[in-house]
Chains A and B, each alone.
Chain A
């Protein structure tokens, strides 16, 4: 067992942390959030140049041979600065689908340019009626000549407005909640029949509602196997969960740091409020929560490639439960300990709190993952 970073990993960590420190001051972030795309193309170019877009992919896939740990390192640093660039949808989710299920041709056409910083991705899977059930897919892909025609509605698709390719889960056979019969498609974002309604999210990211109206795609747009997309997709979401957990760990460290600093400097009754024992204990609980979150995330990152799918699923769900709990505790506590300042838009604390709140919901909330973990534990 060895829980220390390699030299290369340390270098990555320092690099991403430096980027956040130098390019993501809170005021700068506010400007980026308000810019046209909601993220900066020059930052993305830098990510490509520094190898961050390819570092978690195998060399065979045109990457640099890293994996979940490298993703974790980057996401944690991004979380600490509330970075807005669409790393999660493009690299982790879209790139992850291609790496796990893409054909050689798809990897060449999509993954390679993504790693070079030339393509953006979005993943359309949320459906209104499905809640967090990935197998509940009502969007249909009907056989249409040699290819398929996709119809239906997908919601809360992050980065859709900036994406060149949208990965879509669609039903090619079976009943609405069957795992069998789901197929993943790589769809050109400019295809005829896609209507988008774009909007900002609570945490200053960009998402869209997408309507697919008889969108024609070729047979070569299927990622993985027809009807067998569920396992592929679930695996990628599990990996994305670990990445998201790492982002949350970064958020928690940052919000705890800001709060610690605040209670050391804010004075009431003639003393720094950090002198009050009730705040000391709460701060200790924040620290403990962040430590637990870090531990569960690291464990999940180390287990996420396990050959046994149950081990992988439990690791992802376990970490997600912890992140939900810890994120809520740290977020609410930070706001509370800041008093009135905590509920203003002005300080960064409320922005970390918002991101942590959305992270708790993304890919399934605590309740969903607790059930999943509980069921897997009984089944095993």
Chain B
């Protein structure tokens, strides 16, 4: 065992850094640094640049077009990109549906769908949740009825992130209403341009638009878009969820977040006129957070290293999701605390639009409150933290 990086590792990190500097647009980096929201083109331009290099699907094996990296390389890649101010890679294609397709899809499906994920040519979204089926996902009711060589889909998905940007959606649908809830579910790939699909925005508490309602009205989907066997969608769905939970710990982004928090504390003044970073109470709050993040990072590396040796991500990845979300929330909470009174002004133009209006307080205060409010989602999406704890108590502890 060894934590130190080898000369090759360091050379690899340098290569990634050079790539990021050459390919990230200054406008995108500026958005990261100022907390502005990215638009579709910001994501696409960056992901396509990564795609050209074979790095958009950086967790994939070589066989399907990925780089086949070691745990160390993945770790370095994520950290360097976060440090350089890269946007998060939208996970729906490369981290969610891609692995499902190459693990459970047929050869034709692999040929048809994987290359466009490798290059980020098309964007995906995830159609799992429904109004009546959030935590209890297996109760989902969106219906797919076989009609010749098509399925006819009716129903509603909700909370669908990026549906307004996506070209395709992967959906859990009910193909059998008589079977036990988990056994009547199938995994279907649907072209978002299909007639009968309507996307409606859901506005979040900070005014952001990321999630949507997606309505299906007699949408005809070729039966060749079914992954695996009809009625076995739940198995694929769970495989995907385990990957999703591993991916949303967001360790690298949180490290950047803690750094950003220290920068804010350096710029802000305390009640006595000294720098906030010199206020022992606040400094210790950041240190405490930093330590929690170290524990999370090391736990994630341990989980990844098990996977590298051939193990599947087990139910213990739920721990990473829980702690990862709490840490993201805490960073945002402390940033909000740090900016004091200037958390109060609300400047949506500066968060969501390319406005050159000047910030009302310090620039770093503009996203503080919105981020704090918005980050409450992290303990809700990807399976709520209560559900993750249920998983751990049942699957890991046997309670």
Chain A CB within 8 A of B271 CB: yes
* In the bound complex, CA of A200 to CA of B207 (Å): 13
A131 touches B376 (CB 8 A): no
* In the bound complex, CA of A346 to CA of B211 (Å): 13
* In the bound complex, CA of A368 to CA of B270 (Å): 10
Chain A positions 123 through 135: 1 when the CB is less than 8 Å from some CB of chain B, otherwise 0: 0001011111100
User: Smallest CB–CB gap between A224 and chain B, Å?
Assistant: 23
Interface 9-mer from B21-29, B49-57, B333-341? B333-341
B158 touches A340 (CB 8 A): yes
Given the complex, which residues of B lie within 8 Å of A207, measured CB to CB? 344-345
Q: From the candidates B281, B336, B380, name the one contacting A342 in the complex (CB within 8 A).
A: B380
Chain A CB within 8 A of B16 CB: no
Chain B CB within 8 A of A339 CB: yes
Q: From the candidates A202, A340, A350, name the one contacting B346 in the complex (CB within 8 A).
A: A202
A278 touches B135 (CB 8 A): no
Interface 9-mer from A8-16, A60-68, A107-115, A354-362? A354-362
Chain A positions 15 through 30: 1 when the CB is less than 8 Å from some CB of chain B, otherwise 0: 0000000000000000
Residue of A nearest to B271 (CB): A133
User: Smallest CB–CB gap between B51 and chain A, Å?
Assistant: 31
Of listed A177, A269, A367, residue having the most chain B CB within 10 A: A367
Q: From the candidates A197, A343, A345, name the one contacting B376 in the complex (CB within 8 A).
A: A343
Chain A CB within 8 A of B268 CB: yes
* In the bound complex, CA of A367 to CA of B386 (Å): 29
Chain B CB within 8 A of A279 CB: yes
Chain A positions 33 through 73: 1 when the CB is less than 8 Å from some CB of chain B, otherwise 0: 00000000000000000000000000000000000000000
Given the complex, which residues of B lie within 8 Å of A276, measured CB to CB? 386
Of listed A202, A344, A368, residue having the most chain B CB within 10 A: A202
Q: From the candidates B203, B269, B376, name the one contacting A336 in the complex (CB within 8 A).
A: B376
Chain B CB within 8 A of A199 CB: yes
Q: From the candidates A131, A156, A345, A357, name the one contacting B269 in the complex (CB within 8 A).
A: A131
Chain B CB within 8 A of A193 CB: no
* In the bound complex, CA of A126 to CA of B341 (Å): 8
A279 touches B372 (CB 8 A): no
* In the bound complex, CA of A152 to CA of B75 (Å): 50
Chain A CB within 8 A of B323 CB: no
Chain A CB within 8 A of B374 CB: yes
B203 touches A361 (CB 8 A): no
User: Smallest CB–CB gap between B366 and chain A, Å?
Assistant: 11
User: Smallest CB–CB gap between A370 and chain B, Å?
Assistant: 9
Q: From the candidates B129, B272, B373, name the one contacting A353 in the complex (CB within 8 A).
A: B373
Chain B CB within 8 A of A160 CB: no
Given the complex, which residues of B lie within 8 Å of A353, measured CB to CB? 205, 373, 376
Given the complex, which residues of B lie within 8 Å of A156, measured CB to CB? 341-342, 344-345
Chain A CB within 8 A of B331 CB: no
A155 touches B205 (CB 8 A): no
B374 touches A343 (CB 8 A): yes
Given the complex, which residues of B lie within 8 Å of A354, measured CB to CB? 205, 373
B377 touches A343 (CB 8 A): yes
Chain B CB within 8 A of A6 CB: no
Q: From the candidates A269, A358, A367, name the one contacting B344 in the complex (CB within 8 A).
A: A358
A346 touches B379 (CB 8 A): no
**Residues of A255-304 contacting chain B, CB below 8 A:** 267-270, 273, 276, 278-279
Given the complex, which residues of B lie within 8 Å of A201, measured CB to CB? 344-346
* In the bound complex, CA of A361 to CA of B333 (Å): 12
A332 touches B373 (CB 8 A): no
A345 touches B344 (CB 8 A): no
Given the complex, which residues of A lie within 8 Å of B113, measured CB to CB? none
B345 touches A357 (CB 8 A): no
Given the complex, which residues of A lie within 8 Å of B15, measured CB to CB? none
Chain B CB within 8 A of A188 CB: no
Would you list 28 pairs from A and B whose C-beta atoms are within 8 A, ordered by A residue? A126-B341, A128-B361, A128-B362, A130-B271, A136-B271, A155-B360, A177-B272, A197-B360, A199-B360, A202-B344, A202-B345, A202-B373, A203-B344, A268-B136, A269-B139, A276-B386, A278-B389, A336-B376, A336-B384, A339-B134, A340-B211, A343-B374, A344-B205, A353-B205, A357-B372, A358-B344, A362-B341, A371-B271
Apart from A129-B273, A335-B380, A339-B134, 11 more pairs, CB < 8 Å: A130-B269, A136-B273, A199-B345, A201-B345, A202-B373, A268-B133, A343-B376, A345-B205, A361-B337, A361-B340, A362-B344
